[in-house]
Amino acid sequence: MAVVSAGTLMCERPLYERRPPSQDCDSLRRVFSSIDENSCPTIYNFHMHTTHSDGQLSPDRLVEQALEIGLSGFAITDHHSVSGSRAAQQYLQDWSSAPENLDKKTPHLWFGTEITSQLLDIEVHILGYAFDPEHPAIASYLQGTSPKGDRAQAHRVVTAIQKSGGIAVLAHPVRYRKPYEQLIPAAVMIGIDGVETFYAYGNPKPWKASVEETQKVGELSDHYKLLNTCGTDTHGKSLLQRV
């Protein structure tokens, strides 16, 4: 059976709809298509947490760090929530409209979240990006708690993200209780768009995507024509580290 990944398709939305920058799925797909080992953590960062879930950075401080680092784009992926993303979005809008910042580069902030899911009978995490948080397909997953029962099945989570106009990505595929060689093909079968190819397993200092794991995951990503993402999975007080 031939499998065509959703990563090769356009974002789902009505043809007439103009989407705000935080939901600009097409621009994000173009970025994901260009991600490499040098993209994170100083150009892009697509996996980070705030005090609105299990992180130690407030949304304001997170944005301040993103500006200090000079990120071109990022997404906050609080668990089952976008409240931190909304707070960061407001802070970034206020900052960019201040007279002293009008000529400064403003990084692109996309909506993001991380949803606990079940795939091949184990817990995995699905990252969602650039979705419409008000869409009924995704709204029930953004209430601050892990989904239960059938709603936690990865195929339902992926479908919810995509129906709300977003991109679905399998987070850190080498961290689970089953091998990535099984999980990535299973995720492809349910329509996953991408994988978090560039990830620093073992939390090295300074942050650096793990060479061996990146190569192996990247080979499968290439085989299935998936999008690639990167991120520090920040839970601590620096966007340049996981903790």
- Domain-located, residue 12: no
Over residues 183-204, mean pLDDT: 97
As a whole number of Å, the end-to-end CA separation of the chain is 42
pLDDT at 12: 74
pLDDT at 11: 80
Residue type, 219: E
What's the pLDDT tens digit per position in 169-179? 999 999 999 99
Which residues fall within 8 angstroms of residue 87, CB to CB, at 6 or more apart?
50, 52, 58, 59, 60
pLDDT category at 95 given cuts 50, 70, 90 is very high
Host domain of residue 121:
20-98+107-230
Question: Helix-strand-coil percent breakdown of the chain, rounded to 5?
Answer: 35, 20, 45
Helix (H, G, I), strand (E, B) or coil at 50: strand
Whether residue 5 has pLDDT greater than 80: no
- What count of residues does the chain have? 243
What's the pLDDT tens digit per position in 128-150? 999 999 999 999 999 999 999 99
- Domain-located, residue 243: no
pLDDT at 19: 85
- Domain-located, residue 148: yes
- Domain-located, residue 124: yes
- Domain-located, residue 169: yes
Whether residue 6 has pLDDT greater than 80: no
- Domain-located, residue 78: yes
pLDDT at 17: 66
**In the numeric block, which tokens belong to residue 206?**
């300074």
Query: Of 169, 110, 164, nearest to 141 (Cα)?
Result: 164
> Over the range 116-146, which residues count as b (16 or more CB within 10 Å of their CB) and which as e?
bbbbeeeebbbbbbbbbbebebbeebbeeee
* Total domain count, the chain: 1
Sole residue written with tokens 């090295």: 204
What's the pLDDT tens digit per position in 62-79? 999 999 999 999 999 999
Over residues 78-99, mean pLDDT: 97
Whether residue 198 has pLDDT greater than 80: yes
pLDDT category at 23 given cuts 50, 70, 90 is very high
Helix (H, G, I), strand (E, B) or coil at 126: strand
- Domain-located, residue 223: yes
Output the domain CATH number for residue 151. 3.20.20.140
What's the pLDDT tens digit per position in 7-21? 445 687 654 467 899
Whether residue 30 has pLDDT greater than 90: yes
Helix (H, G, I), strand (E, B) or coil at 59: helix
- Domain-located, residue 77: yes
38 burial level (CB within 10 Å; 0-12, 13-18, 19+): exposed
